[in-house]
Amino acid sequence: MQVQSMHFKARAGQKLADVRLQQNLKILSQRWTVGRSNAIAELDDFEATRDEAVERRNRALANLDAWLERFEQEATARGATVLWAETPEEASRLVVAIARKHEVRKVTKSKSMVSEEMALNRHLEAAGVQVVETDLGEYILQINDNEPPSHIVAPVVHKSKDEVSDLFARVHQRPRLTDIPQMTREAREFLRPHFLSADMGVSGGNFLVAETGSVAVFTNEGNEGMCTVLPPKVHVAVTGIEKVLPTLEDLATVARLLPRSATGQSISNYFSLLTGPRAPGEQDGPEHMYVVLVDGGRSGLLGGEFQDMLRCIRCGACMNHCPVYQKIGGHTYGWVYPGPMGSVLTPSYVGIENALDLPQAATMCGECHVVCPMKIPLPDLLRKLREKQMERGLRPWRERAGLAAWAFAAKRPALYRPLARLGGWVLGRIGRDGGRIRSLPMAGGWTQTRDLPAPSGPTFKERWAKQRH
């Protein structure tokens, strides 16, 4: 997917002014946060489960190459073909080649964020293959001129029911429906013929299980099964190399956290463990199964200060609880992954210089770290990215000059104290009318929408010096 993160500020402004989006985001952030909090409360020991899951993910990442090879061996032994792609583009080329090999004309797709990294739909369509998104949210986006998803779990979270009603009426050319079950039924009517006529199904993979060579997929609508098991000749799973877990036991542990953290469910409605193509004597499953493992910058994080990020299980809890995401929505972030995890992943995968705002546009409130089931220290990672921006001279000169002046003074008490007195006095003068400063040079970002309360009198140090010495 093309990176649009450089337009962050402009887009944020548009999203903040979008009244309907603001209403949608407000309702949903409440629903997500309450849902998660209820769901983790029903676990006997959430913290212990979390610690165990972190440990298991770390164990996998510590020997990632070995576990990936084990996965390849086991998957191959069960008849699947494992392919490796260094870049998302390469992964798309591999999938297009698979489609060509099997003379595929139509692909049904289950939800996959990695396929967004790959811009897979565009590549397949360029090769003359029709692609139909079958996750309801992704379907809505596809029929709305291929709008990108705004959330990794709920891609269409930015839209209200009314907007979807209008869209369905327009695209489906049917009377406008407002009842969600009826709307879903209508979408099913449109999707069903595609399921029956597709030659190939593409899915993501929430996890890979090394010891069995399986691909694990969590969904709520069940359409994934229609893409991977039921009719198509070919199933292709695309996923990131960091998703491998050594054992089914590891998967069971992580599975206790993923739906709870994501949607507040104890388990998703559907859970598939896809192991190899249909074997002789089996009733279902594809004739051919491929697993495309995408690096796309992931191996670059291994062994470095951002390795913790590779534990991410894509639950979306960090964005659901992020005060910034809750105000600007996912599109503002400008690439595949929004919110705090996206603000770490985007610069890491597409280049720090292409996403300068992302690590900066965070209040550092720390709630993402608190709710992350994998205990990824997201604020620390954002801060490390800020360090890298600074080291590489990527911050505006005014910011660097301001910081340098601040640091120069703060290190020199003899200079700092009179400056603080003077600064306080000047601010007091500006704000002498009611203790409110209505505009201040260099601080327009603050004073455009807020007063700056003025100092309430002489500095504490001056008072203290007078009283006690």
Q: Is the dihedral of CA 386, 389, 393, 394 positive or negative?
A: negative
Contact 235, 228 (CB under 8 A): yes
Contact track, another protein, 308-347, x by CB under 8 A: ---------------xx-xxx-------------------
By the rule CB under 8 A, 369 interacts with another protein: yes
By the rule CB under 8 A, 399 interacts with another protein: yes
CA–CA distances in Å: residue 40 to residues 15, 18, 255, 466: 31, 33, 13, 55
By the rule CB under 8 A, 40 interacts with another protein: no
Question: Closer CB to another protein, residue 281 or residue 393?
Answer: 393
By the rule CB under 8 A, 231 interacts with another protein: no
Structure tokens at 179: 């009842």
Q: What is the DSSP letter of 467?
A: H
By the rule CB under 8 A, 119 interacts with another protein: no
CA–CA distances in Å: residue 416 to residues 370, 429, 442: 36, 20, 20
By the rule CB under 8 A, 467 interacts with another protein: yes
Output the smallest distance, CB 307 to another protein, in A: 16
Beta strands, E only, 416-464: 436-437, 452-453
Which SS3 state, helix, strand or coil, does residue 175 take?
Answer: coil
Question: Closer CB to another protein, residue 173 or residue 449?
Answer: 449
Alpha-carbon distance of 195 to 132, in angstroms, equals 9
- Residue 463 — φ and ψ, nearest 5°? -60, -45
By the rule CB under 8 A, 424 interacts with another protein: yes
Which SS3 state, helix, strand or coil, does residue 168 take?
Answer: helix
Output the smallest distance, CB 33 to another protein, in A: 8
Q: Which of 85, 236, 362, 374 binds another protein (CB under 8 A)?
A: 362
Question: Closer CB to another protein, residue 300 or residue 444?
Answer: 444
Q: Which of 16, 127, 230, 248 binds another protein (CB under 8 A)?
A: 16
By the rule CB under 8 A, 433 interacts with another protein: yes
By the rule CB under 8 A, 252 interacts with another protein: no
Helix (H) or strand (E) holding 266: none
By the rule CB under 8 A, 6 interacts with another protein: no
By the rule CB under 8 A, 446 interacts with another protein: yes
For the chain, counts of helices (H) and of strands (E): 23, 12
Residues numbered 378 to 397 that lie near another protein (CB under 8 A) are 380, 383, 385-391, 395
